[in-house]
Amino acid sequence: MTGVLNLVALLLVAGAATAAVAQRDPARQALVLSVLGVLLAVLFTVLQAPDVGLSQLAVGAALTPLLIMLSVRKIRRRGRGRDGAR
Amino acid sequence: MSRRLRLWLLAVGGAGLAALLAAACLDLPGFGGRAHPYGTRAVRASLARHTANTVASVNFDQRAYDTLGEMSILFAAVLGCVVLLRQARDEHRERPRPAEVARPVRRYALLVVPVALVCGLYVIAHGQLSPGGGFQGGVVAATALHLLYLGADYRALERVRPLGTFETVDALSVCAYLVLGLAGVLAATAFLANTLLPYGTFDTLSSGGTVPLLNAAVGIEVASAVVVLLANFLDQAVEIEEGNGG
Amino acid sequence: MDRRTTPRAVLLAAGELLAWWAALALLWLVLITTVDTLERVVGASAAAAGALLARAGRRAVRWR
Amino acid sequence: MNGWILAATVELGGGGAAALWGVTTGPVARRVVAQNLTTAALCPALLLLAQGYGRPAYVDLALLLALLGPVGTLVFARLLHEDLEGRRPSAWGLTYAVAGVGAVVVIVVCAATGPGRAMVKLLVIGALLIGGNLIASRALSGGFQGVRGG
Residue range D53-112, pLDDT digits in tens? 999 999 999 999 999 999 999 999 999 888 887 777 778 889 999 999 999 999 999 999
Can you give the pLDDT at residue A6?
93
* Res B246: pLDDT: 42
pLDDT of residue D4: 93
What pLDDT is recorded for position D149? 59
Pairwise CB contact (< 8 Å): C30 & D120: yes
Average pLDDT over residues B134-140: 94
Q: Which of A67-71, B64-68, C4-8 has the lowest mean pLDDT?
A: C4-8
Q: Is D147 left (phi over 0), alpha (psi -120 to 50) or beta?
A: beta
The share of chain B scoring above pLDDT 90, in percent, equals 64
Task: Tell me what the mean pLDDT of segment B12-37 comes to.
Answer: 88
Q: Which residues pair with A18 in a beta bridge?
A: none
The kind and range of the H/E element at D13 are: helix D3-24
> How close A29 comes to chain D (CA, Å)?
9
Per-residue model confidence (pLDDT) at position B240: 84
Q: Does the distance separating the beta carbons of B121 and C46 come in below 8 Å?
A: yes
Q: Is the pLDDT of residue A74 over 60?
A: yes
Does any CB of chain B come closer than 8 Å to the CB of residue C20?
A: yes
- Substitution target from B233, B239, B242 for chain A, most A beta carbons within 10 A: B233
> Per-residue pLDDT for B34 more than 90?
no
Say how many domains are in chain C: 1
Q: State the pLDDT at residue A2.
A: 80
Counting Cα atoms < 13 Å in the Cβ hemisphere of D5 gives 17
Give residue-wise pLDDT tens across range C13-56: 999 999 999 999 999 999 998 888 999 999 999 999 999 999 99
pLDDT in tens, B145-170: 999 999 888 888 999 999 999 999 99
In chain D, what residues touch C30 (CB-CB under 8 Å)?
Answer: 117, 120-121, 124
Task: Return the pLDDT at B193.
Answer: 87
* B242 φ/ψ angles, rounded to the nearest 5 degrees: -75, 160
Q: Do D124 and C29 touch (CB under 8 A)?
A: no
C24 with B110: Cβ contact below 8 A: no
Which pLDDT value is given to residue B99?
Answer: 78
DSSP string covering D80-129: THHHHTTT----HHHHHHHHHHHHHHHHHHHHHH-SSHHHHHHHHHHHHH
Res. A85: pLDDT tops 90: no
Q: Mean pLDDT in chain B?
A: 90
Q: Which residues in A have their CB inside 8 Å of a CB on B?
A: 50-51, 53-55, 57-59, 62-63, 66-67, 70-71, 73-74, 77-78, 81
Q: Which amino acid is at B122?
A: Y
What is the overall mean pLDDT for chain A?
90
Per-residue confidence (pLDDT) for residue B97, from 0 to 100: 77
pLDDT at position A67: 95
pTM of the model: 0.91
Q: Which residues of A touch D28 (CB under 8 A)?
A: 27-28, 31
Mean pLDDT over A54-70 rounds to 94
Q: Which domain holds residue C30?
A: 3-60
Tell me whether residues A32 and D75 touch, CB distance under 8 A. Answer: no
Given a cut of 90, whether residue B87 has pLDDT beyond it is no
A80 pLDDT more than 90: no
Q: Tell whether B241 is within 8 A of chain A (Cβ).
A: yes
Q: From the list D56, D63, D117, which residue is nearest C29 (CB)? A: D117
What pLDDT does residue B202 have?
87
